[in-house]
Amino acid sequence: MDWLVPHETHEKIDHVTGRTDERARWRIAHLTTADISLALLLATELEERVQEGHEVFGISAPGPYVERVKALGVEHVPIRSLTRSWGLRQDLRAFVDLWRTLRSLDLDVLHTHNPKTGVMGRITGRLAGVPVVVNTCHGLWATPEDSLAKRAFVYGLEGLAARFSDYELFQNAQDERTLRRFLKRGRHQVVGNGIDLDRFRFDRAGRARLRAEWGIGDEEILVGTVGRRVREKGLAEYAAAAQALDHRARFIWVGPEDATEGEAMADIDTSSVQFMPEQTDMPAVYSAFDVFVLASYREGFSRASMEAAACGLPMVLSDIRGCREIGVHAEHLLLVEPRSAIALKSALLGLIGGSEMRLRLGRAAAERAHQLFDQRTIADVSRRTYEAVRTGSRLSRRPLVAHVSGKAGP
């Protein structure tokens, strides 16, 4: 394909041979619903493209993370009509605003993310004439347990949007299998997920500092989780397990409140959980925990679990897609039946009372994380995908992660 014409080139001189390597400088935009995704989930990828000399844009609704996005050398482009919630009038307005924005930016590449902006962005990107449109599926927003009507709606929308993109990247294999009938042949790949492995390591000093701030004694077992305070992150099950085991351990939840779910969670007794606001020093947060829990109902490829694993934490995760990829049950972590407070409590009881098991699982998790979860590898796949679409060549489909599953239960 010769329809992608780079905006300009810059020269890189090999000082040994004296030859000049002329490289394209592209205008690349990443589209997400909220700025938090640009700042926390895509920072490495954005930074890599900036360092390569490309002009990089981050498009999202504006919020408190805009300055962190700009600090990466990325120009933030706000779409104020974008929201996480779905509504016909609001979304039509956002669709038009996004189309106008993409037309004005004159992009070479549009890379879309998140369920809502993934659908909206692929369609508007193609209608706006962006030469290369790539989407990353971070997790389908329908699970096998959802109603047939919801699954049909979600898979139908994703299938429609996929027809407007040049290439589909998936964080887990199950999502790719679910949508395979809708995908263009040879234009999709499972790439996994990654984190900054230089940053996420056990931090002994950070552990001592945060536990002192939180009032956690040196000998106390601290069970922790990270994420927005929403029901689908397993808040009810986590709170029930905390209540049953509060005589054996302390329980903490680190993450922001979600204004849209306040009333919906009024029936959950969270008296045994200590809530902390979002933190910036996440390696210290994970290091302060003795056990990490993610009782989520839906994940694309759990980033928090990768971060916890890299910091050497024993983990209890829901036995769902997006968590199974983190490791093998009883070898790197424990997988438990989702939506079951009893299963979660049983697994935690074994870890709280078993220091040898905690040590064994934590070491195995860290080793696997540092072998497989390098975000720079994922960023490189994106770059090669853009180039393959631009040149019409085939992208090598080497596996980046081992997609595993395990039998639920401790």
Task: Give me the CATH number covering residue 96.
Answer: 3.40.50.2000
Distance CA(239)–CA(384), nearest Å, equals 44
Question: Using alpha carbons only, how large is the chain's radius of gyration in Å?
Answer: 22
Domain boundary pick from 156, 190, 224: 190
Verify that 25 and 146 share a domain, yes or no.
yes
Whether 345 is in a domain gets the answer yes
Q: Is residue 49 part of a domain?
A: yes
Q: Which two tokens stand for residue 215?
A: 């009032």
Q: What pLDDT score does 264 carry?
A: 62
Q: How do beta strands 20-25 and 8-13 pair? A: antiparallel
Judgement on whether residues 272 and 185 belong to the same structural domain of the protein:
no
Verify that 155 and 219 share a domain, yes or no: no
46 and 163 part of one domain? yes
Domain co-membership, 222 together with 165: no
Specify the pairing of strand 109-112 against strand 75-78.
unpaired
3-state secondary structure of 150: helix
DSSP for residue 33: E
Q: Are residues 53 and 156 in the same domain?
A: yes
Domain count for the chain, please give it. Answer: 2
Domain identity same for 150 and 263: no
Q: Is 141 among the domain residues?
A: yes
Q: What is the mean pLDDT of the chain?
A: 90
171 and 220 share one domain: no
Residue 395 confidence class, pLDDT cut points 50, 70, 90:
confident
pLDDT number for residue 163? 96
- Could you tell me what percent of the chain has a pLDDT over 90? 81
Co-location of 113 and 168 in the same domain: yes
Between 401 and 166, the more confident residue is 166
Last residue within a domain, chosen from 166, 190, 214: 190
pLDDT at residue 231 greater than cutoff 70? yes
Same domain? For 108 and 174 the reply is yes
Token pair belonging to 9: 């080139």
Q: pLDDT tens-digit profile of 240-262?
A: 999 999 999 999 999 998 876 66
Residue 2 lies in a domain: no
In this prediction the pTM is: 0.82
More confident residue, 84 or 372: 372
pLDDT at residue number 3: 33
Tell whether the model's pLDDT for residue 265 goes beyond 90: no
Q: Please state the rounded mean pLDDT for residues 350-365.
A: 96
Task: Give a yes or no: residue 276 inside a domain.
Answer: yes
pLDDT computed for residue 259 by the predictor? 72
Q: What is the pLDDT of residues 272-287, one digit of tens each?
A: 999 999 999 999 999 9
Residue 410 falls within a domain, yes or no? no
* Cross-strand pairs, 12: 21
Q: Check if the beta carbon of residue 175 is closer than 8 Å to that of residue 360.
A: no
Q: What is the mean pLDDT of residues 119-131?
A: 98
CB half-sphere exposure, 115, CA atoms < 13 A: 17
In a domain, 379, yes or no: no
Element (H, E) at 254: strand 250-254
Residues 173-191 have a mean pLDDT of 94
Do 28 and 128 belong together in one domain? yes
| Residue 381 located in a structural domain | no
Flag whether pLDDT at 399 surpasses 50.
no
* Sheet containing 27-34, strands listed edge to edge, beginning at the edge strand earlier in sequence: 75-78, 55-61, 27-34, 109-112, 132-137, 167-170, 188-190
Amino acid sitting at position 384: R
Closest by CA to 52, choosing from 394, 382, 390, 388, is 382
Q: Containing domain of residue 70, as a range?
A: 8-190
**pLDDT digit string (tens) for 17-45?**
333 344 579 999 999 999 999 998 999 99
* 113 & 13 share domain: yes
User: What percentage of the chain carries pLDDT values higher than 70?
Assistant: 90
Residue 408 pLDDT:
41
Q: How confident is the model at residue 85 (pLDDT cuts 50, 70, 90)?
A: confident
Residue where one domain finishes, among candidates 133, 163, 190: 190
